[in-house]
Amino acid sequence: MTDRPLDLFADPAPPDGGAERPPETNRPSRHPPRPRVWTVRQVNRASRLLLEESLPRLWVGGEVANFRRQRSGHCYFTLKDEAAQLRCVMFRRDAVRLPADPDEGMTLRVLGRLTLYEARGVFQLVVSRLEAGSEGGMWKLAFDRLRARLDAEGLTDPGRRRPLPAFPGTVGIVTSPTGAALRDVVAVIARRAPWLRVLVRGTRVQGVGAGEEIAAAVSTLAGVAGMDVIIVARGGGSIEDLWGFNEEAVARAVAGSPVPVVSGVGHETDVTICDLVADLRAATPSAAAEAVAPDRRWVGKRLDAMGRRLGRGLAGQVRSRRWWLDQLGDALFRRGRRRVQRSRDRLEAARSRMASAVRGRIRREAGRLSEAAAALEALSPLSTLARGYAVPLGRDGELLRGVGDFPRGRDFRLRVVDGYVPCAATGRPTDAGPVAEDQGTGGDRGEE
Amino acid sequence: MPAPSPRTKGQGATVAKNEVGLDARLKRLEEIVAALDSNTLDLGEALALFEEGVVHLGHARETLARTELRVAELIGPEGDAVGEMRVGDDGGAGDG
């Protein structure tokens, strides 16, 4: 059909043939031509075919105006330049791949086919691809928009990033179940920390709907009891391939995950929204696995160190007690010595007090002695003798007191002040007259 | 750091071998070592802690000695089922 030249004066030939064909009688003949009446439908059909057949798919550049996304998913807009406008439609199957709606007045280039919407007679471009004229295109636009929103909410704030558990028990992985990324991650964990429990939630990682699947998988794994950390992984690809990881649903799921999320998407140069909200951005899936899985050699060294510290700790406990006992012993010994010294001091003090007391006593006694001696001196008969008295003494020195002691002829001695005088009683003693003045009451007794 | 009581977390041989993760064992070991470094224990407590630490060390080393990584896949619409997964035998037909 396409190689048949279009004859505007021939009957229109709709692609589905038969029913639309005008009756034979309307065919041009030798009769003078009558005005040919086309149906509107025929005209539009012919125009549409003419347009579609004569022009290949075109890239068209211009500014966008009135971009509308219908509930049906189809998008309508106008491309224009200074002089002209072109109506455009992007049907749902292509529009779903559009990462963002373009801004009013944005310079775009679109790839599409010109056609005519027969029902309305409207000339339009059916767009299959839409790219922003600026660098990075619509992807960058969508990325920047979402990023700005997340930034404003603080979800990309580095301060939100949580530390990964040093020794996780359970690791969740969100990735394609058949992809190289999963193999890489599992190989790294198997090498470094094969004791880990690894749970995989397989998803699509590219194409329409991948973002939602990834988001749901993150939420599912985060809800598993004992989950310690989640890896979101995908190998490298074009920005279009990685687009699922730039979707808002993924950002929300990752940011809202109660357990830390490590993003290992693409290669080192690819930064995705998922990377920005994750607790750790790893350059590659393998790097993500290395960040999550502690190296067994390192853990082993740590255990060795711990064992040594345990032993040292216990030894320290014993040592500190021994030291303590030593201190206690020393203190006791010092205290004992001090006590002995104190006793010794007290003894010495008592001794010297006693000595001085004895000396004082002796001095006092000596004084009393000399006083007694003086008194004794005062009582001595010698002083009486000196006054002229004499004391008669018997042969044995006994004192002769009364007349009865002097029988006739008795020899005796008189003690006078300066010696003895031998004497003898020559007569009969007589009683005394009046009592001698110095003999007190003796005279009374003599009178009885 | 407050010295942990030697009896707060299952002591010595009563620690179930498989229920305690490496992380919990290492944390407990840190606590024990810190307590042993302090001077607040009596000798009996210190000995009990030491013995508990040795048990944890032993189990941790057993964990480390495991060589085969087991990978399970969460399946079902809600991720409510678990299936064993073999990884790496399919020659890498994947897209990522």
Instruction: Give φ, ψ of A350 to 5 degrees.
Output: -65, -40
| Pairing verdict, β A411-416 and A170-175 | unpaired
Residue A236, token pair as written in the block = 């490298």
**pLDDT of A4:** 53
Of A167, A221, A234, which has the smallest distance from its Cβ to B74's Cβ? Answer: A221
Mean pLDDT within B4-8: 44
Residue A110, token pair as written in the block = 């679109």
| Mutate which: B41, B71, B78, B86, vs A, most A CBs within 10 A | B71
Mean per-residue pLDDT over chain A, rounded: 85
In chain B, the residue whose alpha carbon lies closest to the alpha carbon of A311 is B50
DSSP A399: B
Q: Which residue has the higher pLDDT, A136 or B56?
A: B56
Predicted confidence (pLDDT) at residue B35 exceeds the cutoff of 50? yes
Query: In terms of Cα–Cα distance, which of A143, A121, A124, A122 is closest to A134?
Result: A143
**pLDDT of A440:** 43
- Which residue type, as a one-letter code, is found at position B73? E
Q: Cβ contacts (< 8 Å) between A215 and chain B: which residues?
A: none
Pairwise CA distance, residues B80 & A87, whole Å: 49
Q: At A170, is the secondary structure helix, strand, or coil?
A: strand
Distances (CA, A) of A62 to A110, A111, B79: 9, 12, 47
In chain A, the residue whose alpha carbon lies closest to the alpha carbon of B79 is A220
Distances (CA, A) of A81 to A60, A67, A84, A103: 11, 15, 6, 16
- H or E element at residue A148: helix A137-153
Predicted confidence (pLDDT) at residue A297 exceeds the cutoff of 60? yes
- pLDDT more than 70, % of chain B: 71
Complex-level ipTM: 0.70
- pLDDT more than 90, % of chain B: 16
Predicted confidence (pLDDT) at residue A447 exceeds the cutoff of 60? no
Q: At A204, is the secondary structure helix, strand, or coil?
A: coil
Pairwise CA distance, residues A238 & A252, whole Å: 23
- Whether residues B64 and A200 touch (CB distance < 8 A) is answered with no
- Whether residues A300 and B64 touch (CB distance < 8 A) is answered with yes
Chain centroid to CA A283: 28
Q: Cβ contacts (< 8 Å) between A206 and chain B: which residues?
A: 95-96
- Whether residues A318 and B43 touch (CB distance < 8 A) is answered with yes
By the 8 A CB rule, do B74 and A220 touch? yes
Predicted confidence (pLDDT) at residue A249 exceeds the cutoff of 90? yes
Instruction: Give φ, ψ of A425 to 5 degrees.
Output: -80, 120
